Structure 1
Amino acid sequence: MWHQPAQSPFRRFAAAQVEGGSGTQDEPTALRDVPAEGGIVLVVDDEAAIVESLTKIFKREGLNVLAATDGNTALDILRKHRVGVLLTDLMMPSTSGMDLLRAAKTIAPETEVVLMTAYGTVETAVDAMKEGAYDFVTKPLKRAHVVRIVRNALEKQSLLVENRSLKAQLAEKRRRAIIGTSLAWRRTMDIVMQAAPSEATVLLLGESGTGKELLARALHDNSARAKGPFVAVNCAAIPESILEAELFGYEKGAFTGASTARDGRFEAAHGGTLFLDEIGEISRHVQVKLLRVLQEGEIERLGGSGKPRRIDVRIVAATNVNLAEEVKGGRFREDLYYRLNVIPVSVPPLRDRRDDIPLLAQHFVQVYAEKNGKAISGCSPAALERLSEYGWPGNVRELENAIERAVVLTRAGQTVIDEDALPREIRDATPGTASATSLTFPIGMPLSEIEMRVIHETLRHTRGDKRLTAKLLGIATRTIYRRLESTDGGSGEHTDDGQEGDKD
């Protein structure tokens, strides 16, 4: 039971402030009267007159309104509907505004909460803001003020939802960009997904353009730090003279021009992941400071007083140089190398995962056709053949650039990319120019897998000629057949040349 005082401050407000007060009064919105659009405002107060007045005000402002005069009904609405803003009285019997605030943050974390309070409970309302309330308004309410607060809260809630949606879309695009079914790529992804949930430092080893940053993001997105920041730093792109300040931050007056203190990338990545690309390019001085981070979990800003700052960051590093050789040459600290090399991941070049080229090409066609407003569905067989024959010294990044160029140059009305739209170096490629038939293998790969990769790559270069493949490899043709049958059941993945071949 609720009791309406005869001369409450809000009763006077309701009579004076609600426009169009004469005539039939609107009923508070019932659960069955669900607004068709988003941006719902839920009004909760144990005084029915307040609920009626606010409902009228918000409806006249073009807002969707649901209402309740008790906490249980309000909780039911929160469970059933996507409420943008909960406007609730702070002091109510049974379920208070604080109770509703805590419940809303559990049931509907995206809902913003605005509290209505009397002057005597302002301190409590301020405490509520520390628990996640958006704002509070004091009684007697002023129409313009309460409308402005609610609209601002709705705008914030809408931006948060949109931001979350965009982040989800971006994560999905990144997930789709990590494409590959080849053996080399599957092995790489298996290690990445096993390492992701851990806190271990990961070192990505591979040529430029192989997708190391995508893998670093995959490590982050599939870890317990996924909701934290992902900060990427290309150590080779930042001048050595300012790299230390960029990474570790600086205090005011640390150097000429340092008029204010500034956080470094480590502090920006607190609670998340810091990706250090081209780690082999950092100076010995910066190596010492990085080693301290890995050993102690703390940094010291430039110009600091010597008091370290604790940080909580997972480090993922990447390089396209042989760090072990850099250690031997005295250019990279051995102790830092072992700190970084906890989980090494070899990222294969595109020439070692040729089976993935059609999949990657199709993905990039879809991305850039949509971006450029073209109805292109894929590549012609001739174009795919050229793409497969090329050596890709720039790896996946070069393939992406080539497809973007081809999409732009494909004439209106064409639905596929023809070889004429490809760069000249790709059009002129022959089987013999595809990286000079070179292969690289990660340390630890079983000899049986190395053997099969050599056989498959040689078959590709000989266009499926098993006899020529056997001759080039110095083995019997029947050995080729047996190896293929042991892996794919003799499915005839490569063209049969019709030769029975030699004996072992």
Structure 2
Amino acid sequence: MQNIVIIDADEQSLHALQVLQATSDYQIVGIVEQTQKASISQFATRYGIPHGPDPESILSGNVHIVLDFSEECSTRYIQFCPNATVVPKNICHLLVKILLKPSKETQFLQSNVRMYQSIFNSVDEGMIGIDEFGIITLFNDSASKMLDVTVKEVIGKPILSIIPSSGLLEVLHSGQPVSDDELQLSNGLEILSSRYPIINQDGKTTGAFAVFKDISGVIRTAEEITDLKRVKTMLEAIIHSSDDAISVVDSEGLGILVNPAYTRLTGLTEREVIGQPATVDISSGESIHMKVLETKRPVRGVNMQIGEKNRNVIVNVAPIIVDKEVKGSVGVIHDITEMRSLMKELDQAKAMIRDLESTYTFDDIIGSNEDLLIAVGQAKIAAGSEIPIMLRGEPGSGKELFAHAIHTGSRRSNGDFIRVSCATLDVDSIEMALIHTKIQDDKLSGTLFLDEITELNPEVQEKLLEYLRIGSITTSGQSKQLGVRIIASSAANLERAVHEGRLSEELFFQLTRISIRIPALRTRPEDILLITETLLAMLNQEFGMSIQRVTSKAMERLQSYEWPGNVRELENVISRAMILSESGSAVLNEEDIIRALSSRSDHHLDSNPALPDKRTLASLMEDHEKLLLEASLKENNGQKVIVADRLGISLRSLYYKLEKYKLI
């Protein structure tokens, strides 16, 4: 080995020094730094090479070659090492250039090796090669990740010690390739492997090579696809079995799915709708599907006419959002042609009944529950003011009773108390209602009770807001000054209705200046006994019966029930229990209550239950109709389409009657 001392090497020569340091034939034993350079000092320190400005201390010893990069004459260093060969500066620079400039052939080979190595390690498939002795000679990064071992740990190792089931030795010995063979590795990984022999120019097998890929994800994906197909089939079956018409469009507004109920309602078949624009079924108005796709928000309760027969429908449409992107929209269509006629008749009947009803006061609000008493106290205070009032509570909780009591307890008690359903209210109707309660004979006008305020359409909301702002409305081109007191009610979440755009924010603030929340019946079970006693007295008079009380077991049953329909449902259950009780009985037993609570009675048409003597023809007809529906449902296993067909009525009419008698 030749010992070398470097004198005043520059930074350009640093790479050459590293090449010398890496060889086995030469060793740098010292560096003389007459002009100190940081990079040279760091190099010397890293490799433990003595260095400094004093040449005598560095050059003493066994030195064979001195590479002198200094500007001074090289012969001055011969005195320190007379046996050494001193290479002058110009020769040193020539040596550096030679060391740093590899041959073109070497550069080409190095470039190819780097390229092949990069390709070998960049593919997703694992690659393993063995020589003729079964020793691993090739192993890429993907194989390393799949087997969870490093390249250094496997190169030079027998293939059997790393992957016993690889099959490479079989290919090595047989010389026959194997394609797309499924294997499971020792770590549980499922792979698909192809193996090939490596044959040299002489036709001799010198090794074998395997390419394999992880198929665990493919298997999971196939299973997921199977599950998705199963879910898709189930969803389609559910949609096709729905009695409500359903249509689905994609993100471009082109039809992709309709159910049989849609075809029955519109008269349009799948062939006429699928792939067609969403407007294909509209007789008048804009496409709600396109509006939802544009706004990315649901739209509910839109009145439209669709199909060949211009059927009146209410449409609810919601966006289909996947990964925060709108992929389409789904619409549910309710036929209200017959429902509107029935609702109009019902509203007329209710109006007639209200005209005959007695005036309600705060004494008619029954209960000792603390929340109820708070609500009554708030209502009494509100009765003395002229500010609009909002009554909030679940359906059947007594909002109309509170409204009537507030009217009776106010200075407007001599005026009219008019209740209107916001669901059927249009601009003409609200104008008529407001004008009907105008000032007459210098008396205060009456009270207008708006039931379910969130059902008002935007035009009516604007007309009502006009009145609340200035105390007058403009109709037929004339401004009319009014003085009606407004009481509104809602079972819906008003804040959500405002957020969804169903209720004007300004109207919300105008109507909630006084807001009273009426507690649900399930939150005050202690009041059920007193309410039941009051209902018995009222219903005895109506039915001509003399039920005096309910048993303790029956009362426990009533108090343990959730009462989703609140006091209204309690009244319905008590009346049904009275009708179904034994003739002449003075008490209601637990069995009577259970039968009344049941959605399907066990009574048949031929059971001929005893009824009280004093009954109106209308009530007898309703009871008979209810029993008929119950029996028909039971005979046809609840299949409503069959029941409607056998009874000769439309499916919508059947649903109306079932809801009327609480059979669904």
TM-score, scaled to structure 1: 0.46
Between structures 1 and 2, the one with greater strand share = 2
Task: Mark the structure with the bigger radius of gyration.
Answer: 2
TM-score, scaled to structure 2: 0.35
